[in-house]
Structure 1
Amino acid sequence: MEREMTVMTSNGDLSDDVMVETLSRLPVKSLMRLRCVCKSWYSLVKDPNFIYKHIKRGDNMRLMIYCTYKNPYDTDPFNDLITYFSIFPDKTLKDLHIQDLERTMKGHITGPYDGIFLLLEDNTHINLWNVSMDEYRAVPGYEACLPCDTRAHSSDYGLGVDPVTNDFKLVLVLTLWDENKQWTYYEFSPAAVYNFTTNCWRDLGGFPMSNHYRFEGADDVYLNGFCYWVVRRPDYYKEILTFSMSDEVFQVIEGPNVPQFLNYYESAMRPWMLGIYDDCLSILYSEEIAHSFDLWMMKGESWTKQFTFGPFVETYQPLTFWRKGEFLLQSSDKRLVLYDSIYEEMRDLEITGLWFSVNILKESLITVKRR
């Protein structure tokens, strides 16, 4: 239960509750400056309940874009790509002005959970990044003890909080390559978990990959103490892999009742886009090979189809969930568009490129620095 928050200071006619409510509406950069006003405000900004109140506000969302496009002025075919990393400051996306983010570290971005991203340089170099506070933490390298004649083929991560201990955790799953069997994955996947408070890794032993699951996408979804990934078997049958942050146990569950296509092309053309819709684990599924989409929601232990939108003349690839009823899509001609399923409107966000990586940023006061 959330405890009551108070600001121990005199504010004229303003009550403590009004002051807390007012401060919770401010952006992170403003709150970081206001810490110097008085001791009570300094303590408030670090209060876990205030941090939770601030991050759970419905308007605390920004859209981040990682885009690569071809430089039309460069004639060198080996050096003609430009990549930029930007954010839309306007949370309504009515103003399409973008602000460039100058990242000091390179690597693939995955996440986030409550404003914290992972910067993955490779399998052993990982950094935690709070964008709003511009804070980094270098995660110690994990040295996995691999079986003989195997090597790490890929690594997948999940980030979230243990609801029992309130400690942040980073879970790692390695997919191994069996050197003795050509084009075969090893039947066991090592796994480990990193605790923020202890700043170290613990082996989880992993789990048998009897069906040789492959992760469908790099990003996980966290909800209510569980991480979720879409995984694919060699026969292209898709399921959901879950991990409990408190029990530290993996489990495979069935997805929604949609057609399973047992060849690579049709399976790839009908991706399962995981996300959170109306506080439920949800999947955006392409019904007619990127011409229409179904939204499925997990309520209790069963999947329910919420609605269908489309069909469209053009084909679209789903990128991520935005606000309620809105989804970000990539058009067949490489444009970033926002679809409002309630009003059935498509908006061009005036960004084109060869490919996009889209993330939802929640401004967060959660520090990643070691205490």
Structure 2
Amino acid sequence: MKRRCGENSHETSSPLTTRLLHDIDIPLDLTVEILKKLPTKSLMRFRCVSKLWSSIITMRRDFIDWIVTRSLTQTPCDAHRIFNMNLRCYTQCYLSFSSTNARNTHKESVSIPRTAGQYVRGLFLCLPCKSLEAAISNPTTRQYFNLPKMKHSGKGNCFFGYDPLENQYKVLFIPKEPAEQPCQVFTLGDPMAKQWRNIQGIESQFPIRYAYREICINGVIYFITRSTDTSFEYNKLISFDIRSEKFHHIDTPKTLIKLGWFPINYQGKLGLMYCKDCVEIWVMENAEKKTQRWSKIFFYEMAGFEKWCVPGVTRGGEIVFSNSGCLYDNDVLRVFYYNPNCNSMRYVDLEDIYPKESRPKTSLFIWTIPDYVENTMCLY
């Protein structure tokens, strides 16, 4: 009797369970809301559950936007790029994440095959040493997308930007000698645009020798150019509208564009920062108008900043300081945060992420990205 009951139980439970599983039909909207409750690491694992789940997590724009927004509302997370440098060439890049609050400090690191350069909305533009074979890296999904080769070879600079209205990521290439080669643009994720496109060059509007120091804010890439006149007085601040793909000159006081100034994202506005014998920040107040107005919002005179650089400012207004020179195997890996509102300083120690005994016998560089966000977007 016992055996018969066991057999009957076994015979009826398996088909019933299978039938119940097949009968469950979860509405799409409810599925999306359930997935939104999960941490990003779990979402990355659950991509393999079904094609539907994978599509929601990595391709659905409203879901991806929600993940990015969620990152901004959580405890601020900073990404620290640690480069190995050998014979004047970056050979390896580690991306370390740190989030700090009163109760918990969480750290982790990711190895990136190439040098992680410019950062936009959770993605990195990567360039190998001595090459223009650009690639895009997404540390959240652990994906790496190689961009196609450019139509014209030659030295130059690649800039990375995002337009929130059109939901487009674009890579802009400006040749070192703009008079000889056209500027090029590549649109990430556009199935109709699988190659670089030539656009109207910057040389026809602003004669320059080369461009450098870039920041992307609200669909506009800002960068500094060196004029054909080698005098520092002729540096210019140029903007590139990602949607229209047009260049514009930004009116800037000449004293703010000399050697040593660089653009930053200051709480959603374009800022220019100087960090040498003092720390000085100016912010552009009316970016949408033809004539720009600049305001000095911070000045702190202090010696000893020559060996430091300022990668940016956090959402909370903290100024980030990292060492601008080479760090060696015995140096301390540390990033400082200064709060001008309460005149306080804190730091993040990266020693346990990259301990001295595991470092190669090469010089190191650190660059911090304030307010890093997670992005579940699929790159291919």
Query: In structure 2, the residue corresponding to 1:54 is in which secondary structure?
Result: helix
TM-score scaled by length of structure 1? 0.72
Tell me how far apart the structure 2 counterparts of residues 67 and 93 of structure 1 sit (CA, whole Å). Answer: 25
Alignment partner of 2:369 out of 331, 335, 359:
359
Equivalent of residue 81 in structure 2, options 60, 63, 66? 66
Paired with 2:273 and 2:378, the residues of 1 have a C-alpha distance of: 32
Q: How does 1:282-297 map to 2 (within 5 A)?
A: 282-286=271-275, 289-297=276-284
Within 5 Å, give how 1:179-258 maps onto structure 2. 187-196=179-188, 197=190, 198-208=193-203, 211-217=207-213, 220-233=214-227, 234-237=230-233, 238-255=235-252, 257=253
Matched, 1:48 2:65: no
Contact preservation (8 Å) 1:25, 1:54 = no
Aligned residue type for 1:47:
R
Amino acid of the structure 1 residue aligned with 2:134: I
Q: Residues 213 and 324 (structure 1 numbering): CA distance in 2 closer, same or farther, change over 3 Å?
A: farther
| In 1, Cα distance between equivalents of 2:300 and 2:231 | 29
Q: Structure 1 residues 311, 86: closer, same or farther in 2, change over 3 A?
A: same
The 10-residue stretch of structure 1 (91-100 or 334-343) with the greater mean CA deviation from structure 2: 91-100
Tell me, in whole angstroms, the C-alpha distance in 2 between the residues paired with 1:23 and 1:126: 33
**Matched residue SS, 1:65:** strand
Q: In 2 relative to 1, CA 125–10 (structure 1 residues): closer, same or farther, beyond 3 Å?
A: closer
Cα distance in 1 for partners of 2:37, 2:224 equals: 35
Identity of aligned residues (%): 17
In 2, the alpha carbon distance for the partners of 1:98 and 1:25 equals 22
Q: Report Cα offsets for 1:328-367 as digits up to 9, x if no partner.
A: 1135897521112222212232358753222343110111
Shift of 1:134: 0.4
Letter in 2 for 1:221: I
Partner of 2:298: 308
**Alpha-carbon offset, residue 154 of structure 1:** 2.7
Task: State the one-letter code of the partner of 1:359.
Answer: I
The one-letter code sitting in structure 1 at the alignment partner of 2:145 is: R
Report if the CA contact (8 A) 2:240-2:247 is conserved: yes
Tell me what 2:134 maps to.
126
Superposition deviation, residue 309 in structure 1: 4.3
Partner residue in 2 for 1:299: 286
Q: 1:59–1:91: 8 Å Cα contact kept in structure 2?
A: no
**Residues 153, 304 of structure 1: CA spacing in aligned structure 2 closer, same or farther, 3 A cutoff?**
same
Name the counterpart of 1:328: 320
Q: Distance in 1 between matches of 2:184 and 2:93?
A: 32
Aligned equivalent of 1:280, options 248, 269, 275? 269
Which structure: greater helix fraction? 2
TM-score normalised by the chain length of structure 2: 0.71
| Alignment partners' CA distance in 2, 1:276 and 1:354 | 25
1:109–1:119 Cα contact (<8 Å) kept: yes
Structure number with greater Rg is 2
Q: 1:93 to 1:340 in 2, by over 3 A?
A: farther
- Unaligned runs of 5+ residues in structure 1 are 1-7, 71-76, 146-151, 177-185, 262-266
CA RMSD after TM alignment: 3.6
